């Protein structure tokens, strides 16, 4: 797909895709995380990356943002070869990205207002009056303009996640990454976050990438999903297509079944040999 453009920062990628990953290989020690993984993420859509815990979903986000370099493979984000960018170029690319961390990652000693204003102060020279307008506009978008003066310790879990979302969009990014955005939320807060992801994606013209194992919530908001396991894509499609997929692995994951191809036990030596062979830890 990429011809001989590995040495270039730019390439003739498909302009309809904001992320293109080809032949991705990555391991930690002896453990293979990705083995020739291929993923394309279209512009303007909400794409979910799902799979059991420990399959490398968050690691994949870190590779897309250049925090981790793969062993092999090509990673293009917005037409740029992430592996070939220098520090300044990578820094510029990240200005086009928003990131909602699993725990919100708010600055505990700063107010809601200052948390949201931080990226503007860090990356722009906007006057204070304009910063105030942008911050209040983003807080209004997530329904928390009235909480601008509150401290993170005063917020509920759902409110903190919404403040983090306001901060993630304050720079008007092209791409926003969501790392397990539904974890720890009550049903009402979860519904609010699901609605915000959809509304913000469509109204701001974003491309949203969600890492999650919450099947119901992902299905309610995503346009398409990738299911990964054992370092590879095992299924891909719309929520409806995955719902009718005949694969035993896909059915086990989508239905939350205890029995299936995904084993209960982590790989271990023979049980009897370990019990009676005198092995110590």
The CATH number for 222's domain is 3.40.50.300
pLDDT of residue 1: 37
Largest CA distance in the chain: 73
Ramachandran quadrant class, 254 (left: phi over 0; alpha: psi -120 to 50; beta: rest): alpha
Three-class DSSP category at 45: coil
Q: Is residue 18 part of a domain?
A: yes
Strand partners, 28: 31
pTM comes to: 0.82
Element (H, E) at 138: helix 128-141
Write the CA distances from 275 to 265, 270, 278, 280, integer angstroms. Answer: 16, 9, 7, 10
Residue 108 inside a domain? The answer is no
Alpha-carbon gap, residue 191 to 195, rounded angstroms: 6
Residue keyed to tokens 């310790």? 153
- E strand or H helix at 194: helix 187-204
Cα-to-chain-centroid distance, residue 190: 17
In a domain, residue 201? The reply is no
- Residue 225, domain member (yes or no): yes
The boundaries of the domain holding residue 269 are: 1-86+211-281
| Residue 177 within a domain | no
Number of CB atoms found within 10 A of residue 252's CB: 16
Residue 275 placed within a domain? yes
Bridge partners, 34 (sequence order): 26
Per-residue pLDDT of the chain (281 residues; tens, 9 = 90+): 333 334 344 444 567 899 999 999 999 988 899 999 999 999 999 999 988 877 888 899 999 999 999 989 999 999 999 989 999 999 889 888 998 887 778 899 999 999 999 999 988 899 999 999 999 999 998 989 999 999 999 998 889 989 999 999 999 999 999 998 888 788 888 888 898 899 889 988 899 999 988 888 888 899 999 999 888 898 999 988 988 888 777 777 777 666 666 665 566 777 777 777 766 65
**26 lies in a domain?**
yes
In the sheet that holds 80-81, the strands lie side by side as 31-42, 17-28, 72-77, 80-81
Cβ neighbours around 173 below 10 Å, total: 19
The total number of structural domains that make up the chain: 1
Q: How far apart are CA 26 and CA 60, in angstroms?
A: 10
**E strand or H helix at 169, and its extent?**
helix 157-169
pLDDT of residue 180: 87
Query: How do strand 17-28 and strand 72-77 relate by DSSP bridges?
Result: antiparallel
Residue of 1, 18, 23 whose CA lies nearest to 209: 18
Residue 143: half-sphere exposure toward Cβ, Cα within 13 Å: 12
- Per the document, the length of the chain is 281
Instruction: Compute the CA torsion angle 60, 65, 66, 68 (nearest 10 deg).
Output: -30
Q: What is the pLDDT of residue 136?
A: 95
Residue 119 lies in a domain: no
Residue with tokens 């304009």, as numbered in its chain: 130
């Amino acid at each position: 797909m990429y011809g001989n453009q590995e040495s270039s920062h730019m390439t003739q990628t498909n302009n309809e895709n904001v992320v293109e990953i080809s032949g991705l290989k990555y391991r930690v020690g002896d453990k293979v995380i990705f083995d020739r993984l291929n993923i394309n993420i279209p512009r303007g859509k909400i794409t979910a990356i799902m799979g059991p815990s420990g399959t490398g979903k968050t690691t994949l986000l870190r590779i897309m943002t250049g925090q981790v370099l793969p062993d092999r493979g090509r990673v293009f984000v917005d037409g740029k070869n992430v592996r070939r960018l220098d520090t300044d170029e990578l820094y510029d690319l990240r200005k086009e990205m928003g990131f909602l961390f699993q725990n919100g990652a708010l600055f505990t000693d700063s107010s809601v207002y200052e948390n949201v204003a931080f990226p503007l102060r860090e990356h722009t020279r906007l006057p204070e009056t304009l910063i105030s307008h942008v911050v209040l506009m983003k807080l209004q978008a997530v329904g928390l303009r009235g909480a601008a003066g509150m401290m993170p310790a005063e917020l509920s879990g759902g409110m903190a996640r919404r403040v983090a979302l306001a901060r993630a969009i304050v720079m008007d990014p092209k791409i926003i990454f969501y790392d397990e955005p539904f974890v720890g939320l009550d049903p009402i807060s979860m519904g609010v976050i699901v609605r915000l992801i959809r509304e913000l994606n469509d109204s701001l013209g974003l491309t949203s990438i969600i890492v999650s194992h919450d099947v119901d919530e992902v299905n309610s908001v995503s346009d398409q999903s990738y299911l990964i396991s054992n370092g590879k894509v095992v299924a891909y499609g719309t929520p409806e297509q995955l719902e009718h997929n005949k694969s035993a692995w896909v059915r086990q994951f989508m239905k939350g079944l205890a029995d299936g191809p995904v084993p209960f036990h982590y790989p271990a030596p023979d049980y009897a040999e370990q019990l009676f062979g005198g092995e110590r830890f």
